[in-house]
């Protein structure tokens, strides 16, 4: 049975490495198919027991041709190396393999797992790490057990696979201990080229552009963008006013429009972050997940960073970004005042005014709709309210019914009257511009659901949103023409069930107490232990001397009783042969050595108890006679240990022994 399943043990680390690679989400589906196909072919051939060793040259040539073709595609040497390792693993699995080949397979599996390990810090990867550790331990155990088992005579005992969980568990315990006591070392090793590589244009998410001609429907994207944890004494459910300013998290401002496409403009002045410590009465920790754009979503109103981070810079579109691409989640403490708007331009220059009211011929549908919804000349606030109300009568959908039209904006306003938030925001901004009102589009996030199990708000890419800002009386005002039901619709489609909330809360705590475990946390933990030890009082009353002596003597007597067999002198005959001592220990009760027994006589008495072991015991007796009394007894020792292993699983009748 062990030999039968031994070949499948070689497959296991590679499949687990593939599973970890898939869970990382850094590869395109087509690339994952390339990785999985060689392993799947090898598994099928293993089941069908096909022997293609005679074609091994063709298999090697095929692997070489794949490598050269993949390299010619220009996808990058890193991705080509991953593909090639999977292909080499599949080629090695379909061919016959000896011990060195099996070690090569384990090394390939380790390299593949390592490339995934440097790309993520999610808690689910801990599960894959434990699974791969178990698989690698099984493979190593199998590789070390088979050569020794081939030397044993008689029925072979199975390999001790049951000990693998204990070994891995011990490694986890030791690793956790070293993690706590060792100094912190934080490395962002995730290759930047892979960050968000699997994200397609059709998925929901915050972007630094807006293009109405996107084509197909918007696919859900549950990747977390930011988690917002209020102070411990704040309960947003009991005090709903606390979330004011978080309803829309500003990401980037888009002022330049070219046909169906909105882009950030160089003319947009940055929104300053104030340094006054009394800026507001609301504070929370924002835990940002790395993204390809590196845009920070900030609350509305005056905002202050605490502490001020020098690696945050002002990007295009009045956005705030990381100066360098981050590989891990980054926490920032933000303080904001939602009652006081963020500082903006005191006035618009003629150039800015002309830029923010320009239209193109493709936007004629927005001009017609503007006068159709609000035919009279209305002041700016009332005009914005009328246009917003009219658009909220449209339907909200992620199916993008106008995406394939030659003029998606016109199709949305005059035919389908249904779309997602980008259509609503773009249409209203252009309708305001058609009436001479400076307007622009803002990309950001809606506030996500509250996770009571973790005590934070979870904002995912599904909450990515677009709205409108228009200029009136020296400041920018916010207007959101997307129907109110859009938020509830998104919540219904992508809402979190109880187990999903618990899992997300576990991920949050993993990131906080493991990934972001710093030397400050380490010192705080040691200080806490020191304070508890210094303030601890010993209140247990020591026992009397008589009770102490009684307890000590009782423990000593118990230890002597348990070790009574070790204190007995070894009997003459077989007991004097060191090689037979393991077998003597296993048969002490079932077949004790009688006075005058020789090694051969005692072994033949064992053969009467175990007739199926007679041949192996006779071979052991011959080896003992020829080697035990000579210069060495290595062969006898190996055979005796193998025989002892066979006797451990044998259960005899109670108190049964064989006498002369």
Per-position DSSP letters for 456-525, written without gaps between them: EEEEEGGGEEEEEEEEETTEEEEE--S-THHHHHHHHHH---HHHHHHHHHHHHHIIIIIT--HHHHHHH
CA distance 173 to 602: 46
**Does residue 112 contact residue 21 with C-beta atoms inside 8 Å?**
yes
* Positions in the chain short of pLDDT 50: 1-3, 185-201, 488-494, 631, 652-660
With tokens 């930011």, the residue in question is: 226
Alpha-carbon radius of gyration of the chain = 37
pLDDT score recorded for residue 465: 94
Counting every residue written for the chain, the total comes to 660
CA distance 455 to 411: 44
Tell me the torsion sign for CA atoms 197, 203, 207, 211. Answer: positive
**Does residue 206 contact residue 539 with C-beta atoms inside 8 Å?**
no
CA distance 142 to 134: 12
CA distance 354 to 373: 24
**Does residue 305 contact residue 279 with C-beta atoms inside 8 Å?**
no
pLDDT score recorded for residue 201: 46
pLDDT score recorded for residue 536: 60
| pLDDT tens by residue, 587-644 | 877 788 887 788 888 888 888 888 888 888 888 888 887 765 554 566 777 888 888 8
Domain boundaries in the chain?
2-181, 223-496, 571-648
**pTM for this model (two decimals):** 0.63
**CA of residue 352 relative to chain centroid, distance:** 46
Averaged pLDDT score across all residues of the chain:
80
**Does residue 461 contact residue 251 with C-beta atoms inside 8 Å?**
no
CA distance 527 to 148: 51
pLDDT score recorded for residue 193: 42
**Does residue 203 contact residue 420 with C-beta atoms inside 8 Å?**
no
CA distance 217 to 198: 17
**CA of residue 504 relative to chain centroid, distance:** 12
* Cβ neighbours, 10 Å, residue 483: 18
Strand order, beta sheet including 456-460: 302-306, 330-337, 282-288, 224-229, 456-460, 450-451
Cis peptide before 315 (omega within 30 of 0): no
CA distance 544 to 526: 36
**Does residue 342 contact residue 303 with C-beta atoms inside 8 Å?**
yes
Q: What are the two backbone dihedrals, phi and then psi, of residue 299, each rounded to the nearest 5 degrees?
A: -70, 165
With tokens 């008589």, the residue in question is: 546
Q: What are the two backbone dihedrals, phi and then psi, of residue 302, each rounded to the nearest 5 degrees?
A: -65, 130
Torsion of CA 218, 220, 224, 225, to 10 degrees: 10
Task: Tell me 219's DSSP state.
Answer: B
Angle between the N-to-C axes of helices 421-434 and 364-373, in degrees from 0 to 180, rounded to the nearest 10: 80
| pLDDT tens by residue, 324-366 | 777 677 888 888 888 777 766 778 888 889 999 999 999 999 9
CA distance 400 to 397: 7
pLDDT score recorded for residue 519: 58
Strands 475-479 and 261-263: unpaired
């Amino acid at each position: 049975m062990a030999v039968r399943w031994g070949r499948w043990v070689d497959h296991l680390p590679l499949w687990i490495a593939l599973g970890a690679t898939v869970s990382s989400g850094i590869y395109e589906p087509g690339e994952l198919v390339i990785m999985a196909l060689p392993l799947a072919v090898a598994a099928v051939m293993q089941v069908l027991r096909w022997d293609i060793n005679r074609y091994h040259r063709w298999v090697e040539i095929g692997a070489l041709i794949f490598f050269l073709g993949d390299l010619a595609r220009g996808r990058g040497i890193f991705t080509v190396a991953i593909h090639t390792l999977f292909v080499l693993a599949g080629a090695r699995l379909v061919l016959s393999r000896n011990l060195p080949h099996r070690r090569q397979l384990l090394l390939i599996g380790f390299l593949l797992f390592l490339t995934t390990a440097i790309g993520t810090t999610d808690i689910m990867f801990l599960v894959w790490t434990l699974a791969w550790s178990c698989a690698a331990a099984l493979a190593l155990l199998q590789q070390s057990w088979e050569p020794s088992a081939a030397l044993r005579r008689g029925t072979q005992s199975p390999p001790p696979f049951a000990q693998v969980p204990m070994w891995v568990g011990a490694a986890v315990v030791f690793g956790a201990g070293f993690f706590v006591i060792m100094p912190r070392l934080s490395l962002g090793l995730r290759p930047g080229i892979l960050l968000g590589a699997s994200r397609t244009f059709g998925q929901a998410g915050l972007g630094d552009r807006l293009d109405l001609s996107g084509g197909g429907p918007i696919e859900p994207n549950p990747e977390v963008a930011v988690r917002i944890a209020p102070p411990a004494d704040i309960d947003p459910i009991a005090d709903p006013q606390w979330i004011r300013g978080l309803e829309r998290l500003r990401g980037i401002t888009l002022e330049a429009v070219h046909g169906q496409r909105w882009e950030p403009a160089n003319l947009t002045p940055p929104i300053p972050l104030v340094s006054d410590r009394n800026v507001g009465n609301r504070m929370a920790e924002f835990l940002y997940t790395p993204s390809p754009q590196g845009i920070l979503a900030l609350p509305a109103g005056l905002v202050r960073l605490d502490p001020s981070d020098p690696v945050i810079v002002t990007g295009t579109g009045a956005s705030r970004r990381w100066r360098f691409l981050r590989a891990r989640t980054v926490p920032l403490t933000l303080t904001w005042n939602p009652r006081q708007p963020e500082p903006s331009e005191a006035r618009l220059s003629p150039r800015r005014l002309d830029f923010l009211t320009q239209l193109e011929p493709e936007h004629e549908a927005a001009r017609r709709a503007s006068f159709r919804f609000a035919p009279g000349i209305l002041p700016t606030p009332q005009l914005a309210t009328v246009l917003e109300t009219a658009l909220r009568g449209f339907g909200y959908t992620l199916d993008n019914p106008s995406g394939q039209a030659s003029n998606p904006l016109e199709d949305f306003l005059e035919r389908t009257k249904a779309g997602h938030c980008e259509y609503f925001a773009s249409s209203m901004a252009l309708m305001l511009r058609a009436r001479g009102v400076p307007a622009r589009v803002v990309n950001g996030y809606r506030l996500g659901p509250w996770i009571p199990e973790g005590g934070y708000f979870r904002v995912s890419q599904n909450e990515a949103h677009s709205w409108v800002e228009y200029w009136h009386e020296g400041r920018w005002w916010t207007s959101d023409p997307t129907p109110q039901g859009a938020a509830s619709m998104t919540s219904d489609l992508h809402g979190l069930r109880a187990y999903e909330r618990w899992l997300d809360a576990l991920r949050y705590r993993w990131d906080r107490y493991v990934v972001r475990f710093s030397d400050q946390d380490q010192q705080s933990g040691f200080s806490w232990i020191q304070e508890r030890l210094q303030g601890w009082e010993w209140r247990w009353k020591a026992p009397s001397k008589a009770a102490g002596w009684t307890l000590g003597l009782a423990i000593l007597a118990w230890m002597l009783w348990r070790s009574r067999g070790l204190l007995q002198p070894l009997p003459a005959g077989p007991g004097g042969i060191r090689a037979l001592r393991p077998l003597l220990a296993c048969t002490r009760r079932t077949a004790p050595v009688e006075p005058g027994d020789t090694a051969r006589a005692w072994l033949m008495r064992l053969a009467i108890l175990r007739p199926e072991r007679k041949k192996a015991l006779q071979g052991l007796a011959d080896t003992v006679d020829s080697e035990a009394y000579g210069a060495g007894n290595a062969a006898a020792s190996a055979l005796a240990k193998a025989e002892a292993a066979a006797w451990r699983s044998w259960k005899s009748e109670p108190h049964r022994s064989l006498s002369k």
